[in-house]
Structure 1
Amino acid sequence: MSVEKVDTLVVGCGQAGVAMSEHLSKCGVPHLILERHRIAERWRSERWDSLVANGPAWHDRFPGMEFPGAHADAFVSKEKVADYFVAYAEQIAAPVRCGVEVTDVQRNVGRPGFRVETSDGVIEASNIVAATGPFQHPVTPGVVPETAGLMQIHSSAYHNPGQLPEGAVLVVGAGSSGVQIADELQRSGKQVYLSVGPHDRPPRAYRGRDFCWWLGVLGKWDAETPGPGTEHVTIAVSGARGGQTIDFRNLAAQGMTLVGRTESYKNGVMTFAPDLGENIARGDANYLSLLDEADAYLVRNGLALPEEPDAREFLPDPQCVTDPILDLNLTGAGITAIIWATGYAVDYSWLKVGAFDEKGRPRHQRGVSAEPGIYFLGLPWQSRRGSSFIWGVWHDAKHLADRISTQRKYLAYDAAMRSETEDA
């Protein structure tokens, strides 16, 4: 039985895989993309129905194509984002093969390259690009047992309020996903409890410019390393309903009950950390610091954008912040469902090579693995703060394609010299 051979195999065809294909093609590198589902599948089936991109259309895209029919400042729906990547793959003639899962990758013994086992047979590749991204497996903490009599789902399985039973709901996690889902449920008429942990909350816009623009001109997207203690801090930002700044006091004023970080569960009672006020204050400090930097930037550059004094005004702390709930009887509160907006974990169990540290994290420099021939794309902070965003992954893909192309030139020289020696 013949074995298919390819120079570079890209595993995954979301935004990272499509970007990788474009740059490999520009560098003349023969390649194949394998996608176990459809292009950009997670945008379609693992996100809630009303989700829109968290950045405006002018920002959250690749340089080679605008979002068709979308205003530059619009926040595009998740289906249109998925359609965008399908159209982009067609535009660049990406060699993608859908419905094929990679199950095992091992280095060949005594010769270059890797043996790749897939659901559709064996492939041999000189290079492997793991473009599966950071959102591979939903993480649901084992805090509440399945026998508790509650509906429990991860945010990746939430689609709309109609799938939840009657009664109140507890949303655990107040990053972008958690806060948007909680807000949607609140607006649908449900009583919502939102567990708020440490977070950053930038302004959606300030003085007529979206926060994506501010992070750009202030150089924050290009920051190469996270600040101390900020590696895993969630960001509360939303493009829902045209884009509005997340303000937890406003959510409380609308009837939402805020609680601190979820700690434990016993005999029907959920326990929360006494850190809600601290977490809200930290988010405020992050918010205000960006306003300060923005104001300073305008003064320094002599730019006149409309002032926005109301941006620094907050509602008073609600009672749920000044007198926080530390223990909550879920049945007594009428809670019948919990949504865990608690993030994701990576899974590289299929990649059986020496590219990981003792905790299973990729060892790499800007995506170039410590294991020759292995590359990673789409990782948070891969080269900069913006690496896991649509535009950021495009630039990281260019770096990897250049590295792969350079290595091919060295190998081509070696092959040519060997040929000359043999012919002599």
Structure 2
Amino acid sequence: MTAISSPQTPRLPCEAAPLAWLRELADTAVAAVHPDALLEGQLPEPPAGRTLVVGAGKAAAAMAAALERAWQAHHPEAPLSGLVVTRYGHGTACERIEVLEASHPMPDDLGERAARRMLEAVGELGEEDLVIALISGGGSALMSQPAPGVSLAEKQAINRALLRCGAPIREINTVRRHLSAIKGGRLAAAAHPARVVTWLISDVPGDAPSLVASGPTLPDGSTPAEALAILERHAIRVPASMRAHLAAGGASPRPGDPGFARDETRVLARAADALEAARAAAEAAGVEVRLLGDDLEGEARELGRAQGRLALALRDTLRGRPLLLLSGGETSVTVRGHGRGGRNVEYLLGLAATLQGAEGIHALAIDTDGIDGSEDNAGALYAPGDWARAGAMKLDPNAHLSRNDAYTFFEALDRLIVTGPTRTNVNDFRAILVLPRTP
């Protein structure tokens, strides 16, 4: 008598092709926070006067294009003009709004010119006019008009030192606001008495609107003394002219300033929205999901190590169903070496060094803007077999970490993710897929 074998349980897509599944999940997350998906129901009514668009950030050009399309559909006869600045390579075609490109993360003279032109443009407006400000991550470096008495070269040097020392973005932007003629609400103050509506795509942990791109259209609760204290805490040399400017205490507009009473701010997208889209897609695919936070900060490699230990601990508790660990936020990297890398590949290498090829754990880490640091990749992937492959190729993870060379490590393994600019930015997206151990 022939025995009848019982059918095998079908494998879930995440089990059959884990890395491909993680890539699709990341695409879903990024699409959910792209400007094309965000403007439904957001348009203000045209004013009696002009409507001027200004903006800065990695998503600024895509936001401007989406605004133009919506404006044409709903207010085709109403005038609309303006200019926005985005990172080199992140532009897109617009008809009514001029799109400029400048340097990021290091400000340049083109970003300075863009900021000056915006200040001049809004300064011509009156009470019956409307400003729509399109602000997203990266705008702080791209909109770089220095404060009086501070040179662009001095700002560049301070910016470079803050990025290399591993300072969190909250501190970096506090310093930037108080060395600027346009940030910390100064752009809106120049536009008043016109009404200012600010649309934000947030890349900052916690999503405080005034921190996105250093808040050019929002009152500032920090002080010049705080900015100076941050520089001193990180042992960054402060030029005499800059120290004098900060010590003079020239205040930016403060919360509660009556000039901002008619203004409005809307956060259109944030890291939590990208994570929620990924969570919904994963659960629909039969995967259990645990959110570890949308606002995680700290050293990238240390977060990778910590999440690697968590994945190992949870793997032994699984009862037949895959588990996905999701997190967002913005980590930092203290630069000690001269390698190639970014915070997402450094996070992933810290995780890989902890997992050491542990069975069933795959991972992805990307910057949602498509550029991890200053390289050409968005991030990278990791699979359990990569540990043995790295050993066979004489790749030492700890040596690569010591010189901040995670890019080269994952490039050798052919695990880099290269998407090109996504034209949005809600910062880091990290996903760890933990599969049940095989019997």
Higher strand share: 1
Higher helix share: 2
The TM tier, using the shorter chain, reads: 0.3 to 0.5
Higher RCO (CA < 8 A, seq sep 6+): 1
